[in-house]
Chain A
Amino acid sequence: MTTSIESPRAARTVRRGGVNWEKWGWIYMRVSGVALVVLIFGHLFVNLMIGDGVKALDFAFVGGKLSNPFWQVWDTLMLWLALIHGANGMRTITNDYAHNRLVGVVVKGAILAATVVLIILGTLVVYTFDPCPAGAPTDLLPTFCTGG
């Protein structure tokens, strides 16, 4: 006759239902990290290495890139992924160091606010940037402004 000894303690009640933010946050850091390696290093390579390198960077260069749908999507992805990644990382660090609940809420609130403002501003710039402002000296503008 075999006997089984019951578990010495009742199972701990699992408190929360719903989405496990801590787990998805962890997964997000890794997924966005992989995407950011490509996006950030691609960005640095195209801006700083190709052609004339860093000397090519001027209003016309930026205006030209932001008029190209490929770079609009690239920059938008980089903006959203990096800002949410950075904000989530700062949230984690806040959870490490904020011993007091109030401090934690204030710091995380500030991180959230800064992130939302930067994402909105950045996205606006990417899609509403005018590469050919009226009355600007033509030698500073991308070639396509002057019907080249």
Chain B
Amino acid sequence: MASDVVEKSGPRAHEAVPTFTVTMIVRRFDPEVDEEPRWVDYDLQMHGTDRVLDALHKIKWEIDGSLAFRRSCAHGVCGSDAMRINGRNRLACKTLLKDLDVSQPIYVEALKGLPLEKDLIVDMEPFFDSFREVQPFLMASTKPKDGKERLQSPEQRARFDDTTKCILCAACTSSCPVFWTDGQYFGPAAIVNAHRFIFDSRDEGSQVRMDILNDQEGVWRCRTTFNCTDACPRGIQVTQAIAEVKQAIMRGKP
């Protein structure tokens, strides 16, 4: 709507891109000062090509340098900047402002269900602990057949292709209502990464992982809410992967 032209001074290449005003309401928390998190609004002039991450950068670089958030690649590869945007877990670097309703304020807060450290930063350790527990590495102790490589057909590779895409952003696990209330639950991401190896024909540790996930806090806690599938920035069919692990555990083999 508003079509102010970008500051004339800076020789910016995308001067032609129209700008609009957007209100970002960010849930701030400074553990040294605040008792409770508080919502702070920022009015920003942004471009149609900007993402939520750009808006956060603008706040940090031009308005309040104390805003804390994680990001690294800024291109949806590293999984650092998962956060709750308008109540849904998204990567800030993959969420275009124009895809949100910018006539309304945009609410940004830290992932839910993990300990809040500062502003948009949560303690990821509980998340990585569950990831480690499913032993997410190839376990193959026998010698390969012809003494060289562990060969795999394209079909065998395709069986677990979807779950190889995980970037460990924690968007799925921290969108899961069971994980919010039951901190012991492994959570979707750990199951996705177990799936990655359980269905890998070269792996010999499937049974170990299936035993781990057959636990009281394992796959049976999943209630099929599909929040995880909705949250995954890599488009992994998370709920389906969990269902496949449940089926494998019932069969007793992958």
Please list the residues of chain A having a beta carbon within 8 angstroms of any beta carbon in chain B: 2, 4, 6-9, 11-12, 14, 20, 22-23, 25-27, 92, 95-97
Q: Is the Cβ of B214 less than 8 Å from the Cβ of A7?
A: no
Q: A25: which B residues are within 8 A, CB to CB? A: 220
How far is B140's CA from A8's CA once the two chains are assembled, in angstroms?
11
Q: A8: which B residues are within 8 A, CB to CB? A: 137
Q: A9: which B residues are within 8 A, CB to CB? A: 135
How far is B210's CA from A11's CA once the two chains are assembled, in angstroms?
12
How far is B212's CA from A20's CA once the two chains are assembled, in angstroms?
12
Q: A96: which B residues are within 8 A, CB to CB? A: 178, 181-182
Q: B133: which A residues are within 8 A, CB to CB? A: 12
Q: B220: which A residues are within 8 A, CB to CB? A: 22-23, 25-26
Bitwise interface map of B from 130 to 149 toward A, beta carbon under 8 Å scored 1, else 0: 00010101011111100110
With A12-B212, A23-B249, A96-B181 as known contacts, state yes or no: A6 contacts B135, CB within 8 Å: no
**Can you list 19 A-B pairs, Cβ within 8 angstroms, ordered by A?**
A2-B143, A4-B141, A7-B135, A7-B137, A7-B205, A11-B135, A11-B208, A12-B135, A12-B208, A12-B211, A14-B212, A22-B216, A22-B220, A23-B220, A23-B250, A26-B246, A92-B223, A95-B221, A96-B181
Q: B205: which A residues are within 8 A, CB to CB? A: 7, 11
How far is B168's CA from A19's CA once the two chains are assembled, in angstroms?
33
Q: How far is the CB of B250 from chain A (nearest CB, A)?
A: 7
Q: Is the Cβ of A2 less than 8 Å from the Cβ of B140?
A: no
Q: A7: which B residues are within 8 A, CB to CB? A: 135, 137, 139, 141, 205
In terms of DSSP, what is the predominant structure of the interface of chain B?
A: loop
Q: Is the Cβ of B143 less than 8 Å from the Cβ of A23?
A: no
Instruction: Find residues 191-237 in chain B having any chain A CB closer than 8 Å to their own CB.
Output: 205, 208, 211-212, 214-216, 218, 220-221, 223
Q: Is the Cβ of B148 less than 8 Å from the Cβ of A2?
A: yes
Q: How far is the CB of A23 from chain B (nearest CB, A)?
A: 6
Q: Is the Cβ of A2 less than 8 Å from the Cβ of B141?
A: no
How far is B221's CA from A92's CA once the two chains are assembled, in angstroms?
8
How far is B216's CA from A14's CA once the two chains are assembled, in angstroms?
12
Q: Is the Cβ of B182 less than 8 Å from the Cβ of A20?
A: no
A2 in complex: contacting residue of B144, B214, B221, CB < 8 Å: B144
With A7-B135, A7-B205 as known contacts, state yes or no: A23 contacts B140, CB within 8 Å: no
Q: B208: which A residues are within 8 A, CB to CB? A: 11-12
Nearest-CB residue, chain A, relative to B216: A22
Q: How far is the CB of A66 from chain B (nearest CB, A)?
A: 36
With A22-B216, A25-B220 as known contacts, state yes or no: A14 contacts B211, CB within 8 Å: yes
Q: B143: which A residues are within 8 A, CB to CB? A: 2, 4
Q: A95: which B residues are within 8 A, CB to CB? A: 182, 221
How far is B137's CA from A92's CA once the two chains are assembled, in angstroms?
31
How far is B222's CA from A92's CA once the two chains are assembled, in angstroms?
11
